[in-house]
Amino acid sequence: MTQFGKPLTRTETPIPGLVVFDLPVHGDSRGWFKENWQREKMTEAGLPDFGPVQNNVSFNDKEGTTRGIHAEPWDKFVSVATGRIFGAWVDLREGPTYGAVFTAELDPSKAIFVPRGVGNSYQTLEPNTAYTYLVNDHWSPEAEYAFLNLADPTIAIAWPIPLEQAELSEKDKKHPPLSEVTPIPPKKTLVLGANGQVGRALREIWRDRPDVEFATRADIDLSNPGSLTEARRWRDYDTIVNAAAYTAVDKAETPEGRTLAWTINATAVATLARIATDNNITLVHISSDYVYDGTKEGEYTEDELLAPLGVYAQSKAAGDVAAATAHKHYVLRTSWVIGDGNNFVRTMASLAGRGVDPSVVEDQTGRLTFTSTIAEAIQHVLEVRPEYGVYHVTNTGEPTTWFDIARHVFELTGHDADRVTSTTTSAYFANATSPVAPRPANSALSLDRLTATGFEPEDAAEALARYLSA
């Protein structure tokens, strides 16, 4: 019997992500009313903001009508408009809870969120029962489905009306037992720019994950944004990590470089953001300290107004704005990136070993960011799922200059740090024969927002020593 006046509450089940909701139902002598789906209230109560695209209703004439067990590659929010059902849900996803069962009765005052890959079935307990459900994808013949026999003894569902007395379709009677069901794999994560420094760091920490795809420029080319929409069946993806970028800071000041910088760093990101929103994907986008002009004293917070100086900086700032249009997004802003490949630290170590005494600028201040730290931060936010938005990611410690870092590299590699001399940015580029992009003088980024999520980056000096000893 429908219960009136209950508050909106959620109850967890033994199946991860399968959540029962009590719905407020208001009744009088005329009948009753309820808000069956109310995004703001329900997401505040803990319902995932799953982005439904379709509402279906299944009307059942007879008591004992039984349907399922079907697991589809989308999420469902199931409720009852009239009547009453006995529902049974079986986890058919890959993982440790595969085969777990949960049962409950639903009337108009209860609903249940069924995550992708959990088998759904029900039996009507009253005639004229209307079973309704919201789904966040459209049916596709290319999607992966799983079906389980309603009478499988290994799951032993105690149907209130024995199945031999119930109304079943011939198709449902012939579904396989659990031992023959192919589990539904998780949605995939796509890493763009997989051969870059951040991409290689992600390969290292995610190398054992079969659900992660690594795409190089040969696989997906961001310089051709028009091809992105058809590059994948995007509904199969949960996350896009955009570690690809045009990073030739000075070449971006040339006509050809300007076009490539804006295409890859801005236009392509806008396309990815639209793809992410249309397909309920989380977009993780790697940004840069260059979006600031470097004139501030002290650390930049994520809420500072953008003030990019050069073409590269402007294209990255535009990319940040574009990425933020994705409904689910994390923009991770970094500085002075060091990883597997050519970079400042490797150059200084090479010069030290070859007997070259460099002159290094001392009027740019910031912190090193090792790609292992960026990769760990990406993994952290995707596991913890803090509030969507912008997060600064660098290693910790006092901000320093390129000159001080160069001296430290010489010391750590067993060379005399006094071989490094200081200069200014303007003096260093005084004799340049090609365009030179302006550099921010201050690249120190506040880490308070990131550390508040529970992530503690490694100290930059310790990370530098480890990096050089590897």
What CA–CA distance (Å, rounded) separates 292 from 294? Answer: 6
3-state secondary structure of 147: strand
- Sheet with strand 212-215: strands edge to edge: 212-215, 188-192, 237-242, 282-288, 328-334, 389-392
**C-alpha to C-alpha distance for 353 and 304, rounded to whole angstroms:** 41
Element (H, E) at 186: none
Q: What is the dihedral of CA 287, 288, 292, 297, to 10 degrees?
A: 120
Helix (H, G, I), strand (E, B) or coil at 344: helix
251-261 residues labelled b (16+ CB within 10 A) or e (exposed): bbbeeebbebb
Q: Which of 86, 73, 93, 68 is nearest to 149 (CA)?
A: 68
Structure tokens at 12: 């967890």
Kindly list the distances between the CA atom of residue 224 and the CA atoms of 220, 272, 318, in Å, as whole numbers in the listed order: 9, 12, 17
C-alpha span between 182 and 173 (Å, rounded): 18
Identify residue 151 by its one-letter amino acid code: A
User: Which residues participate in catalysis according to the annotation?
Assistant: 70, 133
- Strands of 38-166, DSSP E: 54-60, 66-71, 76-82, 85-91, 101-106, 110-114, 118-124, 129-135, 146-147
Closest CA to 381 of 277, 280, 284: 284
Beta-carbon count within 10 A of 187 CB: 17
User: H or E stretch including 262?
Assistant: helix 255-262
Of the candidates 121, 434, 466, 444, which has an alpha carbon nearest to the alpha carbon of residue 299? 444
Tokens matching residue 411: 């010391």
Q: Which amino acid is at 43?
A: T
Phi, psi values for residue 167, rounded to 5°? -95, 110
